[in-house]
Amino acid sequence: MSPHIVALLSGPDQKGLVSKVSGWIFDNGGNIIHADQHRDAEAGVFFQRVEWALDGDTTPTAVATSFQSFGDSIGMKTKVAIAGEKPKVAIFVSKFDHCFHDLILRWKAGEYPCEIALIISNHQTLRESARQYGIPFHHIPVSKANKADAEAEQLALLKQEGIDLVIMARYMQILSAIFLDTFGKPVINIHHSFLPAFAGARPYHQAHAKGVKLIGATAHYATPDLDQGPIIHQDVARITHRNSVDDLVRKGRDLEKFTLAQAVRWHLENRILVYGNKTVVFD
């Protein structure tokens, strides 16, 4: 199978962008496999995802570098990935294990083109599970008193392992602005409510107290503002007055697993473009 390149472009809308991109790919020996685009009419921003196959004599790395320069030359913010390359992923988790197991089992089944390189937790609860999966587990307790030191230790591990993506699989801690800025790579979080409703702690209890008829889960990129990052995916379930808080928690866990799993898949397949505090997700 010939190598594939995936490119994500965004920038000011202008005439001829699709033609310029497809022309460049043709001129450089590529064959477009899939292309999709979107225009935000209000903001005047153009978005495109394009995937193409290379001929046998072309080096994927050289093509990726060259296309990056081409994207810059036409005024587009450009991200280029080589299909088949597997980014290294770290999972942050606390005690709740439903998203943790779901992600790893999907990865073990070959659903995710990545390498889950390590697990970091502020509790020992899932150490044995990590050992059974064959993934290195690092216990780093976190408290108000040691938070800065704990994050420094986490960052050192991420740098040492060359981690490209952090997944917060119900990691019940807030990552500081310093952590996010220093890591400088995507962090995906799952929040157990339909944001922007019920941000912060105990959202199922908040939802039950409000008597809502829908509960949800939201996967988003983490930012320094709590539960305010660009939303990748959301899902909901109906509830009634008969449902207790425990019922909401049970229903919510299924939502959390699916919502996080889908968001991670889209990210790993290079289908997400972030602009401002929004995302464009190409199917």
Query: What class is the 88-281 domain?
Result: alpha beta
pLDDT tens by residue, 221-251: 999 887 789 999 999 989 899 988 888 889 8
What residues have CB less than 8 Å from 148, skipping those under 6 apart?
A: 176, 178
pLDDT tens by residue, 65-98: 999 999 999 999 999 999 888 999 999 999 999 9
Number of neighbours of residue 225 by Cβ within 10 angstroms = 10
Residue 276: per-residue pLDDT:
85
Please give the span between the terminal C-alpha atoms of the chain, in angstroms, as a whole number: 23
User: What are the CB-based long-range contacts (under 8 Å, 24+) for 36-45?
Assistant: 36/282, 36/283, 38/280, 38/282, 39/13, 40/275, 43/275, 44/12, 44/13, 45/10, 45/11, 45/12, 45/13, 45/275
Measure Cα distances from 80 to 4, 51, 52, 277 in Å.
11, 10, 11, 21
Read off the pLDDT of each residue in 153-182 and give the average, rounded to a whole number: 96
pLDDT tens by residue, 96-152: 999 999 999 999 999 999 999 999 999 999 999 999 999 999 999 999 999 999 999
Q: Which residue ranges make up each domain of the chain? A: 4-82, 88-281
CA quadruple 225, 283, 35, 185: dihedral positive or negative? positive
Residue 109: per-residue pLDDT:
97
CATH topology of domain 4-82: Alpha-Beta Plaits (3.30.70)
Cβ-count burial 52-85 (b if 16+ within 10 Å, e if not)? bbbeeebebeebbeebeebbeeeebebbbbebee
61/66 Cα distance (integer angstroms): 9
Q: Mean pLDDT for the chain? A: 93
Pairwise pLDDT comparison (172 vs 67), residue with the higher score: 67
46/28 Cα distance (integer angstroms): 23
Residue 48: per-residue pLDDT:
97
How wide is the angle at C-alpha 148 spanned by C-alphas 144 and 153, nearest 5°? 120
127/131 Cα distance (integer angstroms): 6
Positions marked active-site: 227
Q: How far is CA 191 from the centre of its chain?
A: 13
pLDDT above 70 coverage of the chain, percent: 99
Residue 1: per-residue pLDDT:
61
* Highest mean pLDDT pick, 44-53, 77-86, 187-196: 44-53
Place of tokens 């659903």: 111
Residue 136: per-residue pLDDT:
98
Amino acid (1-letter code) at residue 257? K
Q: Look at phi and psi of residue 118 and say left if phi exceeds 0, alpha if psi is from -120 to 50, else beta.
A: beta
- Containing 11, the helix (H) or strand (E) segment is strand 4-12
220/218 Cα distance (integer angstroms): 6
